[in-house]
Amino acid sequence: MASLARLRVSRRLPQLIRGIQTSADTTQLHEAPSDLSQPFTVKLHEDSFHSYLCDKPDLDVQVTKDQLLGLYKQMTTMRRMEMAADALYKAKLIRGFCHLAIGQEAVSVGLEAGITPEDRVITSYRCHPFAVLRGGSIKGVIGELLGRQIGMSNGKGGSMHIFTPSFFGGNGIVGAQVPLGAGIAFAQQYMEKDTATFTLYGDGASNQGQVFEAYNMAKLWNLPCIFVCENNKYGMGTSAERSSSNTEYFTRGDKIPGLQVNGMDIIATQQAVKWARKWAVDDKKGPLLLEFVTYRYGGHSMSDPGTTYRTREEVQRMRSTQDPIRGLQRYIEEWGLASEQELKQLDKDAKTEVDAAVEEAKASPEPLLKDLWTDIYFKGTEPPYMRGREREEVHHY
Amino acid sequence: MLATRRFPSIPLASLGFPNRFQRRNSTAAEPPPAGGHLPSIATSQILRTSRERALRTPGLSWNDDEAASSIVNVGRETRKMNVYQAVRDALSIALMKNDNAVVFGEDIAFGGVFRCTMGLAEEFGRERVFNTPLTEQGIAGFAIGMALMGHTPIAEIQFADYIFPAFDQLVNEAAKIRYRSGGQYNVGGLTIRTPTMSVGHGGLYHSQSPEGFFMGASGLKIVIPRSPIQAKGLLLSAIRDPSKTVKKLKLFVVNQNLDPVIFMEPKILYRSAVEQVPIDDYALPLGRAETLVEGSDLTLLTWGTPIYHCETALHMLADPPPALAPHVPAALRSAKIELIDLRSVLPWDAAAIAESVGRTGRLVIVHEAGMTAGVGAEIAAEVQKRCFLRLAAPVKRITGWDTPVALQYEKFYIPDAVRILDGIVQTLSY
């Protein structure tokens, strides 16, 4: 066993050395913009992307001030929302399961920045930011977590079950959304739509059999399906190294090319998403694996303190050195796009927006009792009756 | 090896099987007389082998423009089909009338193992009728994704025995998507076709009847047809794109269906059950049982293949062959047995069954799956609740044994006519 362990370490070491860059603040300004209303070019760290069977996106990225401030606002608002959910859960107002994406904001916000409203997104249970960004609302998400009528699924779904017309929801079963994404992409291709499906899953789900089934079908039929692995380094309480024989998730599609991306730098993530979209939609090159290397600060779910399988120091180090929001904040300040006060105002606005949404959601009533029996079968095709919670409670349609 | 020696299969023939190909599923204890008093599937009275009877199929509604005007079935044609041809006919209509309908599954492009998709790829193109990898969970998930986009995927799981890898997708995604999205999404366009029940020599992995496993999955519908006419009409109802039906025929919306359906086709009937099938587009209602033989003394409820064993048992009861005559009291031979085909296993037609048992006071349920927690358990529990004071005997279940479906003894696993007869006699004389 000891020798085996040593063998492992020596085999893993080179990987660690040439690992992806996950700093959030390594993007460099080409030259100071003279006019802040005009787009200007920045250069990503040369280790922002690793590729497999394909080229890499350009490291030079054109950005604008408004765009970066918009991303900052979105990421801050998403984090505020997740923190509000955290507080509501701890106040026992949210019950059941709840998975927060604090630390992973650059993935959801970067994804939304790189796609169009007509593209489709489907993800796992860590879904709250995607639901809001894809046309939902904060009060709709919080309301759903609280199980209120205002919730995006009328309070009947809960944390993992939030949908919009272009967002096919969080899914509670690990990896189950991945073949669905392939099917959605097939429908897009069939209808000859110039759109793609972004199918998200985590490093834990990467080892599910059906993920490979979906890879195979997508490549076989050249579907416009971008498989997006959000590698936050832990599948529940097991680190990627302990769960996966190959932790380079972007290489696991066999013949499907892949791109590993610094998932902590919002400029890198949106650049990668745009590149992937072009790959599938404009160039019609079929599926692609996109791996965002990111980190979740909290536990897997609310019942996991997140400190039994990793050290507090590790979490603290990630928070202080690689946080996507603080990284973007540094860019904005260093490049002279906005002052600290202006950013503080954005923070305040985010807090106000979330607080108002929470209050509105809390004020919304719980679903009506009769809704226990709705939306099971299409109206009019239900069985004659359905049983309720106790013997006397039988609903007749 | 030892087992085969100890129980050689040859004596079966000497028990009185005239021809092993004539009725593989036969449960006759001795050869039928020349005129034949025991119906087999080939001679079943339940099958509608004339045009007139076919067009009078109860519950049939036409899905075409003439439907509203034609009260009588003038000019309606029928063609002789078996179940796989009827299924193919339904698929062809679905593909023809709905551009978003797509048929896929393992090996289906060249016809599928049971020939249900013969020639469809040539007729509608490989973009719409295509082979998938051997990937059941993937097929189900892929189909659900398509259905979420408003498409009409008609996926085939090659054998119902292979549906278990897809169980999670069907139970957790397909069944629940409407509920968990608060009604925003549904996969009503989804139909999963899969051959089910015993084939005579399928053994552990090709003769199972997994319908019972889906009973708790509210949101799904499970349909099992018994014949070619039923297969075509029920399959079209299962597939039918509701928005189109509603728009086109305001009067005929009874068959609209926005729920995912698992359509289980009894595989031994693919070739053996033959009827005159209307060639037009028609539908049969989901969720409704059909009374095949009316009676007043006992309700015999089943679905799929065992219907024909039940029919045989009814003939045996009325006119038992000499070997069985001592076991059938003369007083019971004139009993009127009501034979009901459940057709939809989920949701099942509890009202019709309760109504029937309320009249007869006795219920015998026959299914091929094992007894424990099978569909019969659910029905028995509900019927005893609804009809408790009217029951003259305990509800009887005649089912497969609670073992895997053995290859060598498959014939003894399935509930055959003799076991059904025995159950009827026991229940009548309780």
Query: pLDDT tens digits, residue range A247-298?
Result: 999 999 999 999 999 999 999 999 999 999 999 999 999 999 999 999 999 9
CA distance A375 to chain B (A): 5
Name the segment(s) of chain A with CATH classification 3.40.50.970: 45-366
Q: Answer yes or no: is pLDDT of B85 > 50.
A: yes
Residue A390, min C-alpha distance to chain B (Å): 15
* pLDDT recorded at residue B25: 47
CA distances from B323 to A159, A172, B15, B18 (A): 65, 59, 11, 16
B206 counts as catalytic:
yes
pLDDT over 80 at B293, yes or no: yes
Comparing CB atoms, the residue among B142, B172, B181 nearest residue A183 is B142
**B261-266 and B221-223 beta bridge pairing:** parallel
Catalytic position from the list B156, B173, B206, B367: B206
Residue B405 has pLDDT above 80, yes or no: yes
Confidence of residue B9 (pLDDT cuts 50, 70, 90): very low
B-facing residues of A in 373-392 (CB < 8 A) are 374-378, 380-386
Higher pLDDT, B245 or A330: A330
B176-193 burial, b if ≥16 CB within 10 A, otherwise e? bbbbbbbbbbbbbbbbbb
Distance (Å) from the alpha carbon of B155 to chain A's nearest alpha carbon: 12
User: Which percentage of chain A shows pLDDT scores above 70?
Assistant: 95
- Give yes or no for residue B255 having a pLDDT over 50: no
Place of tokens 């890879």: A215
pLDDT > 60? residue B420: yes
Give the domains, in start order, of chain B with CATH numbers.
51-283 (3.40.50.970), 289-428 (3.40.50.920)
Average pLDDT along chain A = 92
- So what's the pLDDT on residue B69? 55
Q: What pLDDT does A383 receive?
A: 84
Q: What is the CA radius of gyration of chain B?
A: 21
Minimum-distance CB partner of A153 among B133, B135, B184: B184
Structure tokens at A304: 């996991």
Among all residues of chain B, which has the CA nearest to that of A160?
B180
Measured between CA atoms, how close is B263 to chain A, in angstroms? Answer: 17
CA separation for the pair B299, B352 (Å, rounded)? 11
Q: Average of pLDDT values for B92-103?
A: 95
Q: How confident is the model at residue B330 (pLDDT cuts 50, 70, 90)?
A: very high
Interface of A with B in 91-120 (CB under 8 A): 120
Mutate to test the interface with B, among A120, A148, A160, A186 (most CBs of B within 10 A): A186
Cα atoms in the Cβ-side hemisphere of radius 13 Å centred on B368:
29
CA-CA distance, B59 to A298, in Å (whole number)?
Answer: 58
Q: How far apart are CA A182 and CA B289, in angstroms?
A: 37
Please say if the pLDDT value at position A10 is more than 90.
no
pLDDT band, residue B63 (cuts 50/70/90): confident
Which pLDDT belongs to residue B257?
A: 58
pLDDT tens profile A37-88: 899 999 999 999 999 999 999 999 999 999 999 999 999 999 999 999 999 9
Instruction: Tell how far CA B280 is from the center of its chain.
Output: 22
CA-wise closest residue to B419 among B331, B342, B336, B317 = B317
The span from the CA of A17 to the CA of A127, in Å, is 32
Q: List, for residues B338-377, the tens digit of each pLDDT value.
A: 999 999 999 999 999 999 999 999 999 999 999 999 999 9
Question: Would you state the pLDDT for residue B66?
Answer: 67
Q: Do B311 and B39 form a contact (C-beta atoms < 8 A)? A: yes
Paired tokens of A126: 């860590």
Say which residue, A225 or A306, is predicted with more confidence. Answer: A225
User: Which residue in A120, A155, A217 is closest to B133 by CB distance?
Assistant: A217
Task: Give the per-residue pLDDT at A282.
Answer: 97
Neighbours of B60 (CB within 10 A): 18
Is A183's CB within 8 Å of B148's CB?
yes
- What are the C-alpha distances in Å from B415 to residues B13, B17, B365, B410, B419? 19, 18, 11, 10, 6
- Unique residue bearing structure tokens 């090996």: B107
* Statement: residue B60 has pLDDT above 90: yes
CB B140 within 8 A of CB A179: yes
Residues B140, A179: C-beta atoms closer than 8 Å = yes
Mean pLDDT for the stretch of residues A115-144? 97
Beta strands at A385-387 and A394-396: parallel, antiparallel or unpaired: antiparallel
In contact, A207 and A198? CB cutoff 8 Å: no
Q: Is A121's Cβ below 8 Å from some Cβ in B?
A: no
| % of chain B exceeding 70 in pLDDT | 85
pLDDT number for residue A381: 80
Q: What is the pLDDT of residues B148-202, one digit of tens each?
A: 999 999 999 999 999 999 999 999 999 999 999 988 999 999 999 999 999 888 8
8 Å CB contact between A272 and A111: no
Instruction: Summarize the confidence of residues B66-75 as an average pLDDT.
Output: 64
- Whole-number pLDDT of residue B26: 46
Spatial distance between the Cα atoms of B213 and B222, rounded to a whole number of angstroms: 11
Residues 31-70 of A with CB under 8 A from B: none
Q: Is A181 on the interface with B (CB under 8 A)?
A: yes
User: How deeply is A106 buried, as exposed, middle or buried, from its count of CB atoms within 10 A (0-12, 13-18, 19+)?
Assistant: buried
Mean pLDDT check: name the lowest of A370-374, B37-41, B67-71: B67-71
Q: What are phi and psi of B220, to 5 degrees?
A: -95, 155
Strands (E) located in chain A: 28-29, 40-43, 49-52, 60-63, 120-122, 197-202, 225-231, 234-235, 238-239, 258-262, 288-293, 385-387, 394-396
Look up the CATH superfamily of A45-366: Thiamin diphosphate (ThDP)-binding fold, Pyr/PP domains (3.40.50.970)
My answer on whether omega of the bond before B347 falls inside 30° of 0, hence cis, is yes
Compute how many other C-beta atoms are within 10 angstroms of the C-beta atom of residue B264: 26
CA dist., res. A217 & res. A339, Å (int): 50
Q: Which of A152, A172, A214 sits opposite B141 (nearest CB)?
A: A214
For residue A186, pLDDT over 90 is answered with yes
Contacts of A40-46 with CB under 8 Å at 24 or more apart are A40/A64, A42/A267, A42/A331, A42/A335, A44/A262, A44/A265, A44/A267, A44/A268, A44/A271, A45/A21, A45/A262, A45/A265, A45/A268
CB contact under 8 A, B258 and A214: no
Please give the residue that has the higher pLDDT: either A208 or B406: A208
| Alpha-carbon gap, residue B386 to A269, rounded angstroms | 61
Q: Identify any residues that bridge with A122 across adjacent strands, giving them in sequence order.
A: A199
Which residues have C-beta within 8 Å of that of residue A259, sequence separation ≥ 6? A49, A50, A51, A52, A54, A56, A57, A250, A272, A275, A276, A288, A289, A290, A291
Helix axes A266-277, A105-114, angle to 10 degrees: 40
Of A144-153, B25-34, B279-288, B400-409, which gets the smallest average pLDDT? B25-34
Q: Which two tokens stand for residue A310?
A: 């990793």
Mean pLDDT over the full length of chain B: 87
